[in-house]
Structure formats: C-alpha cells, structure tokens
Amino acid sequence: MKKAAIIGMGVISPIHIAAIQSNPGITLAAVCDIDAGKKSDAPAGVPFYTDYKTMLLEAKPDVVHICLPHYLHVPVSMEAAEMGIHVFCEKPVAMDSRQGQEFVAFEASHPDIHMGICLQNRFNESVEMLKSIIDSGEYGAVTGIRGTVPWYREKEYYEVQPWRGKWETAGGGCMINQSVHTLDLLYHLGGEIKELKAVTAQLLDYGIEVEDTAAARLTFANGAQGMFLATIANYKNEGVQISVQTEKADFAITDNTLYRIQEDGTREKLCEDAKLPGMKFYYGASHKKIIDLFYNALEQNSQDYLHVRDALMSIRLIDAIQNSGKTGTVVSL
C-alpha cells in the first residue's frame, strides 16, 4: 500500500482526499497547511502539519500531492523529488514556459521519480470518446475546433487569496487559473498548433494585475482553424464548451455531454461525463481517474500517466496568448 501526503489544504484538497480515500491501495498518511486553522479540515486520525518539510521527513510518504498556489508548484515538487518522493502536482505545471522547460529537464534527470500533473479533463468520458473518434480517422481530419469557458468570479475571490491576482504568484489570470484545462484539450484533440493571434483584457474593475478575459485565433499545423474564448466576467459559471469540426461530421461537448451534430442541426447524444455529488459541477469527476492512473503506474512501474512534459504546451500557449495580446502580433509556436 502506498502512503500519500497532501501539501495545501485549499479548495481543491477535498477532491484529492476523496480520491485517495476511495482507493484501497493508498493510505493518507498526513496533510499540511501553513494555516493551523485548516487542521479541522483534515480527515479524522490523519496527522496535520504546518511545515511541509517536517511532514515529509516524519510521515515518509511515497507520494506527495501538491495543492499549493501556483508559484510554489515547481519548487516544492522539485524539493520533494530530490528527497525520493513521487509527486502528483495540481495544475498549472509551471508559472511560465521558462520554468516549465526547467521542470521538464528536471523530470528527465530524475527517471526513477514519477511526476504527474493533474490535467484531469483529458480523462472525462466525453473527451476520451471524442479523442478516440478523432484518432480513428472515421470522420476525417479535424478542420476546426473551439473552446469556450464562460465563468464568473466575484471580487472577493481575489481578496480572500490575493496571490491569485498577481503576476508574481499566479502567473496569469483566467487562462492559467480557470481555463488551462480547455487550452490543454485544444491541442490534445486538434493536434499541433502552428501560430496564434490573441487579445487579453480586464473587463472587471477588480484592481488585479492579471487578465480576466482572453480570446485567441489558432492555426493548427494541419491547417485547421481554432478559437479560444475564456472569461471570469460572465454573469455566472456556465459549462465549458468544446466544438470540433471534422471533414465528415461535427461534434460538441456541452454541459459535460458529447453530441454528434446532425446535418439538420439536431444532436445525437454519444456519452455523458460522470459527476461528483456535492462538488462544483465544472470540476468533473476525473480527478479520481487521473489519480488512480498515477498510482497504478507507480505500482506497475510504468510510464502510463500524464507527465510534466505532457503539460508543457498548456503553459506555452498561455505565454503565446499573453505575448500576442500585448504586442498585437501573430505569435509562432
């Protein structure tokens, strides 16, 4: 049985705790947060620490889950890996492309340590089926793709956790925080992206440094065209939408359901994502799938999990969109 520990008891930690506790091959050995008041959020009987270094030395976990603010993901992951502890890190994989490249190089230099990144939406049932359909070639190549993230965050979201609104600690706004999953899916489904042109903006008067809205026109290596739209200036949180046009058919993921769009505009339901009761609907239920996959890879000593290198393009895309938004030019990838 593998021993797991969690660093960071914020809003995402209950998802990780539930996934760990539902897996009979994992035991939650310890949790940690610098806020001693978070001790009440620790499961009964699980030791609570306020210093992660002490926790790693005393609890001796096989795996540590990194659920910290963005700027701590890479340094704490590297520190744990240097201690011989496997790492499962929340998104984003890094603050920017430069740090992401350093993390990829670090991963390559530590082949005995598994370092998984939590881009769990790749494992939603709708995405898995759509990926399988695309890869089969049955409907021809992808010719167009669109990802839309219409969400809302109130000003208090940034006031409660000020790191979220700063370049130095968050690395960005709505893209790196809310819509990195959707950017990841655009190239996961559509293939290599050649170039893009984008705009970024602040539509909300929140006094933050980072963007709250972004849009990008993407050109894929095979000639396909793509569109990305993300905002936290919507009036509420609505479902992420992904549309894919192939040479012979159109598909759409809406409200966590995959549809094939018929010629007359009607929709044929193909599958629906599993849901977690009581959780935010847009989290989906695939954290458990990606965490189970990671621990199974540990057990089998396999490479079948989402690596640091697999997640790098999501950060490269964010950097390119930010750059294009600032310069007004086409940015090549």
pLDDT more than 70, % of the chain:
97
**304-331 confidence digits (pLDDT tens):** 999 999 999 999 999 999 999 999 999 9
The DSSP element (H or E) to which 156 belongs, if any, is helix 156-160
The DSSP element (H or E) to which 46 belongs, if any, is none
Give the burial string for 289-324 (b: 16+ CB within 10 Å, else e): bbbbbbbebbeeeeeebbbbbbbbbbbbbbbbbbeb
Give the Cβ contact number of residue 326 at 10 Å.
Answer: 11
| Average per-residue pLDDT for the chain | 96
Residue pointed to by tokens 């806020």: 35
Residue spans in the chain of domains classed CATH 3.30.360.10: 122-279+307-332
Helix 308-327 with 97-108: angle, nearest 10 deg: 160
Distance CA 103, CA 150 (A): 31
CATH architecture of the domain with range 2-120: 3-Layer(aba) Sandwich (3.40)
Give the Cβ contact number of residue 36 at 10 Å.
Answer: 10
**Does the structure show a pLDDT above 90 at 283?**
no
* Per-residue pLDDT, 312: 98
Distance CA 141, CA 234 (A): 33
**76-106 confidence digits (pLDDT tens):** 999 999 999 999 999 999 999 999 999 999 9
Can you tell me whether residue 90 is helix, strand or coil?
strand
Distance CA 77, CA 323 (A): 27
**170-208 confidence digits (pLDDT tens):** 999 999 999 999 999 999 999 999 999 999 999 999 999
DSSP H helix total and E strand total for the chain = 11, 15
Confidence (pTM): 0.95
Distance CA 78, CA 122 (A): 25
CATH code of 122-279+307-332, in short, is 3.30.360.10
What mean pLDDT do residues 138-158 have?
98
Residue spans in the chain of domains classed CATH 3.40.50.720: 2-120
